[in-house]
Every structure is written in C-alpha cells, then in structure tokens.
Copies of this chain bind each other. A is one copy, B any other.
Amino acid sequence: MIVDGKELAVKLNGKTYHCAMDITMDYIGGKWKTVVLWYLRDQHRRFGELKKMIPDITEKMLSLQLKQLEKDGLVGRKVYAEVPPKVEYYLTREGQSLLPILQAIADWGRHKGKTEGIIEEVVREKKKKKQLS
C-alpha cells in the first residue's frame, strides 16, 4: 500500500502483507475455501453433507480445508455428546463477515455461467455394491 507517498505494510499472523487484498485472499483464496464457506452460509452442516454437496472434493481435501478455516477463525466445530458422535460445522461471526464477498463471487459466477456457458445435468455412475463370489 502506498499512502501519502510512503509504502506501508501490515504484519498479521507472522506474515507481512503489502496490499489489503492479499490479506483477504489468504483467507479465502484457493480452489475450495469459498465453496466450503458458501455451503455453510445459512446452516450448520456435517462433514458428510458437505462432501455430498461438493462432489469433486476428496475427503482428505475437505478435512484439510475445514481444519484451515477453523484455524483461521472462520468456521466453528460443534461436537454433540451423542453416540455415535455428531459433529457440525458452522460459520463463526468472523466467517459471516465474509458473506457479502461470497455472495458477490457467487452472483458473478452464476451470471457468467448463465450468459456464456452451457448448463447440463451431471450423471454420476453409482458405485456398484461388491458382489460375493
């Protein structure tokens, strides 16, 4: 950032940022974070639900993203004292503060897809049950 002819930087979480945008992109950049945050925008969800809503993400990658988002304070994790244990993820207040950005990102992509892309149904092959031989 150049302010009054001086170059300023922000130190945050042990990193040095030269532009305000870099800070935000460090929290939401990458392939999956915006999508995971988006699916938590209006309700708590379990791991399996999120996995189902994001068919292309691997379990390992989803787990990694949730851990990172939790570490960054954007996502919370609620464990219910039940058997079997039930765990739900949700947006923290900090995560909710990103909703206007996420909404704008979703709107832009949706418009782009509608006006320039081709929308089609995805047919996934169901996993066949193992047959006993």
- With A38-B21, A109-B21 known to touch, is A119 a contact of B8 (CB < 8 Å)? yes
- Output the least CB separation between A10 and chain B (Å): 4
Q: Does A81 interact with chain B (Cβ within 8 Å)?
A: no
Candidates B9, B53, B101, B110; contact of A105 at CB < 8 Å: B101
Question: From A29, which residue of chain B is reached at the shortest CB distance?
Answer: B29
Binding site for B on A (CB under 8 A): 2, 6-12, 17-25, 27, 29-31, 34-35, 38, 53-56, 97-98, 100-102, 104-110, 112-113, 116-122, 124
Can you identify 24 A-B contacts, CB atoms within 8 angstroms? Answer: A7-B122, A8-B119, A8-B120, A8-B121, A9-B119, A11-B118, A12-B117, A12-B118, A17-B109, A18-B56, A18-B122, A19-B35, A19-B38, A20-B113, A21-B38, A22-B31, A22-B35, A22-B109, A23-B110, A23-B117, A24-B109, A29-B30, A97-B108, A98-B108
